Amino acid sequence: MSITVVPIKEKKVVSYKSCFDVIGPIMIGPSSSHTAGALAIGSVANKLFQGLPKKIVVKYYESFAETHKGHGTDFAIIAGILGFASDDTRVPSAIEIAESKGIDITFIEKAGNSPAGHPNTADVYMEDESRSIRTLGISIGGGLIEVKHIEIDGFSLNFEGPLPIIIAISERNDLEFGLRRVFKENNVEINYLNCLEKGGKYLYEFALDSQLPSDIQKKLAVFGSVANVIIL
């Protein structure tokens, strides 16, 4: 497996973009970090898996391990996996809804320090008969998260900094140039680019400076015929 990391430029990454990030999102409570943040971690797992799994295993560390039951972290993270928004009235019933769909759910409280070095850590594993994904995320407050590690299609990636991140998996080794052209034409700033190759497949990771407007997301969807493009 070859790895290419291309830093675009030295830049300080700011997790909080506005005062609303500190206040937190419109949500089903009780906690922006333990509920809305957990839902956001589940949403990342949902985007990576792109469907409903047969099995979900969630490992909690430190504060999440100690308080997940009382703070609604369990139903929140499952709600994210189901694709619910943070203010969806179905959020508190997410576990029951998932189980009614035949999904097996396990929560594990892990002892010791978080592998991500943060007290609000969740490690989510999902699988069905043909595939599996894993995502390790932390909730940093105000409903915001950082994704620290993912495993998908045989690739393993470590991240630094906040979202958004674009992942494209393809058998084409020239896809990077097409994606970079879209970003350049639409003045999207790239913080860094990472490219992995394994078994004839290529994974392209773009860490972006800001969230993508819907029109640019539609332009990326055009690559769907030659790549699996995931916007985190």
The model's pLDDT over 43-58, given as tens digits with 9 standing for 90+, comes to: 999 999 999 999 999 9
The model's pLDDT over 3-31, given as tens digits with 9 standing for 90+, comes to: 444 444 444 444 444 444 444 444 444 45
The ranges of the chain annotated as CATH 3.30.70.260 are 164-232
In what helix (H) or strand (E) does residue 107 lie, and over which residues does it extend? strand 104-110
Give CA 103 to chain center in angstroms.
Answer: 20
Cα dist. 105→111, 118, 154, 171, 195 in Å? 20, 24, 23, 33, 33
| 18-152 belongs to CATH 3.90.25.10 | no
Residue 218, token pair as written in the block: 């539609």
pLDDT in tens, the chain (232 residues): 444 444 444 444 444 444 444 444 444 444 556 689 999 999 999 999 999 999 999 999 999 999 998 889 999 999 999 999 988 999 999 999 999 999 999 999 999 999 999 999 999 999 999 999 999 999 998 888 999 999 999 999 999 878 899 999 999 999 999 999 999 999 999 999 999 999 999 999 999 998 999 999 999 999 999 999 999 9
User: What pLDDT, on the 0 to 100 scale, is given for residue 34?
Assistant: 64
Residue 22, token pair as written in the block: 């500190």
The ranges of the chain annotated as CATH 3.30.1330.90 are 18-152
Angle, nearest 10°, between helix axes 214-221 and 175-185? 160
User: What pLDDT, on the 0 to 100 scale, is given for residue 28?
Assistant: 47
Coarse DSSP helix, strand, coil percentages of the chain, rounded to the nearest 5 percent = 30, 35, 35
The fold of the 164-232 domain, in CATH, is Alpha-Beta Plaits (3.30.70)
Largest CA distance in the chain: 49
Task: Work out whether the CA dihedral 211, 149, 48, 102 comes out positive or negative.
Answer: negative
Segments in 111-197 forming alpha helices (H): 175-185
In what helix (H) or strand (E) does residue 79 lie, and over which residues does it extend? helix 73-82
